[in-house]
Amino acid sequence: MNKNKVLVRLCIPATGAGYDILLPRTLCVHQAVRLISGFFEGITGGAYMPDDTTALCSMEDGRIYNVNSSVESLHLKNGSKLMLI
């Protein structure tokens, strides 16, 4: 496993789907949301439509992550469970 990336489980409640994704540790939450949202918008053929309120949060406690935080500063680790809401 690459030490510069973390493997997380991402759930998209709007679609009911879950995915394992690799996130660079230096990526900020804002960049991650844009990247992930764009990907899912494409693979769902527009069924998933992100907007300005789309957020990344913890599945364990529901905490919404600060858009300026990096993956590393959130202490995300392999197996962390996230939601895109």
Q: What share of the chain is helix, strand, coil (3-state, %, to 5)?
A: 20, 30, 50
Span 30-40, pLDDT tens digits: 999 998 888 87
Q: Which pLDDT band holds residue 41 (cuts at 50, 70, 90)?
A: confident
- Show the domains of the chain with their CATH numbers: 5-84 (3.10.20.90)
Whether pLDDT at 73 is above 90 = yes
Span 1-24, pLDDT tens digits: 578 999 999 998 877 888 999 999
Report CA torsion sign: 30, 32, 37, 42: positive
CA distance 84 to 25: 18
SS3 at position 28: strand
